[in-house]
Amino acid sequence: MATPTTFTVENVDAAQLGSSIATLLTVAANTNGIQITSIKLVNDSTTPVTATIHLVPSGGSADVTNILCNAFSVPGDGLPYELITLGNPVFLEPSGLIRGLAGTADVITYHISYVEFN
């Protein structure tokens, strides 16, 4: 990997998980990757709903080898649950993906913060 010369702080706008696996973020191929500083999940219903998130390497697919959380029960309390924190960031290579789904569509909001290395 080349040494990054610049970095850009990015934020992915909040969106909601569907009930089928979908790509939440794709790391640009023309970068040196990203450092994920935060992934938060918020359940806007009143009952627990499960969420599964994968950190998929370039050329890979969402499977048991890259699960960040598997059927994590997000309580229906409206509070954010942080899967990755600034104190424990995760690196994802160019063309890597963050993929996810929920047990019920349009109930779990996700927020992803990251730093992109150029």
Domain assignment of residue 2, yes or no = no
Domain assignment of residue 1, yes or no = no
What per-residue confidence (pLDDT) applies to 118? 84
What per-residue confidence (pLDDT) applies to 11? 67
pTM here?
0.90
What per-residue confidence (pLDDT) applies to 28? 92
Q: What is the mean pLDDT of residues 22-43?
A: 94
Number of structural domains found in the chain: 1
Q: What is the mean pLDDT of residues 28-42?
A: 93
Residue 82's CATH number = 2.60.120.340
Domain assignment of residue 108, yes or no = yes
Supply the range of the domain harboring residue 42. 7-117
**Which of the residue ranges 20-24, 28-32, 37-41, 82-86 would you say has the lowest mean pLDDT?**
82-86
3-state secondary structure string across the chain: CCCCCCEEEEEEEEEECCCCCEEEEECCCCCCCEEEEEEEEEECCCCCEEEEEEEECCCCCCCHHHEEEEEEEECCCCCEEEEECCCCCEEECCCCEEEEEECCCCCEEEEEEEEEEC
